[in-house]
Amino acid sequence: LILIGMGTGIAPFRAFIKHLYKNVRDWKGQVRLFYGAKSGLELLYLNDKDGDMTQYYDEGTFKAFHAVSPRPAFDDPIALDVAMEDRANEILEMLQYANTHIYVAGYEKIKGVLDKAFASIMGSPEAWKTRKAELIAGGKWAEVIY
């Protein structure tokens, strides 16, 4: 699972991750959570950086990566692309698996940033467009955008 939540978009993933690790006893899959916001104030639903997610995640399968805007007062974008590209090899490997799902929640403008980051990771916009279409067609891409 690749989970991407910006701002208050982190809220649904908190409940989902808790459910996954508490109730799905045979869960062995990898979970990568990318979360962040323009500023720390937009992370109200997270509690603190390591927050309550550390109460129920599995260190062997769960990793979380935090991204914030480098200059929130100047309306700079959240550095989500940097956080993802720093882990490009891991994301690329996950994208090769047929059972990988991607869930996105956050602001409308995140979509362009994600497409750019995934295209870079996949090696070209065309490769990403094809893979994203496969994910969507297979019901393995879901987004809640506002």
pLDDT at 44 over 60: no
CA 41 to the chain's CA centroid: 19
For 5-43, write each residue's pLDDT tens digit: 887 777 788 888 888 988 998 888 999 998 876 555 555
Environment class of 29 (CB within 10 Å of its CB; exposed 0-12, middle 13-18, buried 19+): middle
For 84-137, write each residue's pLDDT tens digit: 999 999 999 999 999 999 999 988 888 998 999 999 999 999 999 999 999 999
- Rounded to whole angstroms, the Cα distance separating 144 from 138 reads 17
pTM higher than 0.85: no
User: Is pLDDT larger for residue 80 or for residue 144?
Assistant: 144
Q: Spell out the domain ranges in the chain.
A: 2-145
What count of Cα atoms within 13 Å lies in the side-chain half-sphere of residue 19? 5
Q: What is the pLDDT of residue 11?
A: 79
Q: Which long-range contacts (CB under 8 A, 24 or more apart) does 50-54 make?
A: 51/14, 52/14, 52/18, 53/14, 53/17, 53/18
CATH number given to 2-145: 3.40.50.80
Q: What is the pLDDT of residue 22?
A: 86
Q: What is the pLDDT of residue 95?
A: 98
Q: What is the pLDDT of residue 77?
A: 56
H or E, element range at 82: helix 80-85
Average pLDDT over residues 37-55: 52
